[in-house]
Amino acid sequence: MTILHPKTKEELDGILANAGEKLVVIDFFATWCGPCRQMGPKFNKLAVEYPEPIYIGIDVDEHETIAALYSINVMPTFIFFKNGQKIQTIEGNNYESLRRMVENNK
């Protein structure tokens, strides 16, 4: 499964709108963030193990406006959407919580 990297808020909004009933998982990260570097390969692995959801990566330094809209203060932050609605947020380097959330909502 490919991880999408939208360049604009409009592109992100389009992905969320077109996802339908699919789970969408957004990873807000920073390249300088140690926990983000640890979670990055795990996020990629999750996308392979559970290909049903839509996976999105957003670099908070490149997309400060999008990060601000979602009140991102901790990296990494993972936000889960289903049917266009936010259903959960997980902050920090917590792979098991991330995996369980995907498993339970895929």
58: helix, coil or strand?
strand
Element (DSSP H or E) covering residue 3? strand 3-4
Say whether 78 is catalytic. Answer: no
User: 3-state DSSP helix/strand/coil percent for the chain, to nearest 5?
Assistant: 40, 25, 35
Active-site hit among 16, 23, 33, 67:
33
Candidates 16, 24, 26, 36; catalytic one:
36
Q: Is 3 a catalytic residue?
A: no
Alpha-helix runs per DSSP H in the chain: 9-18, 34-49, 64-69, 95-105
Residues serving a catalytic function are 33, 36
